[in-house]
Amino acid sequence: MPDDPWASFMPEIDFTKFQLESSPEMAYYSAEPFAGGYSPAQQKYWSGQFGNVYNQYAGALGASVRNQTEAPTFVDFLRDMPWTERYTSLSPALRPGSGFRRFSPSARYMYS
């Protein structure tokens, strides 16, 4: 007799993936930029971008439904996202910690 007679009736479930999909914030904040190797300025920028990234994921879901292709999971969407390329394509004014003051000295006015 097998060890567990119900094992053949129960499918294998990856509960970690299920939990990440049921809580998109947990999946987002455990993604690549927050795992280390990124500057504090990059982490600060990405920490405020959850809503924008999730809206892009919703658009990707809609496109997959429209094209009748397999829809990506949010975890897969985050894994395939070009984090560094998107951050470096920002203008210096939009990056936290780097504004125009880094590139031009402040003007001094001398009044007589």
Confidence class of residue 98 from pLDDT cuts 50, 70 and 90? low
The percent of residues in the chain predicted with pLDDT above 70, rounded, is 70
| CA 52 – CA 36 distance, rounded (Å) | 21
Residue 109: inside a domain, yes or no?
A: no
Q: Do the domain assignments include residue 84?
A: yes
Residue 5 lies in a domain: no
In the prediction, which pLDDT does 58 show?
93
The Cα–Cα gap between 12 and 7 comes to 9
Q: Report if residue 51 sits inside a domain.
A: yes
Please state the domain count of the chain: 1
Residue 73 covered by a domain: yes
Question: DSSP code of 11?
Answer: P
Domain of residue 37: give its range. 22-102
Mind listing the pLDDT tens digit for each residue in 32-81?
Answer: 998 878 888 888 899 999 999 999 999 999 999 899 999 888 989 999 99
Task: Please name the residues in contact with 43: beta carbons below 8 A apart, sequence gap of 6 or more.
Answer: 33, 34
In this structure, is residue 66 part of a structural domain? yes
Q: What is the pLDDT of residue 77?
A: 93
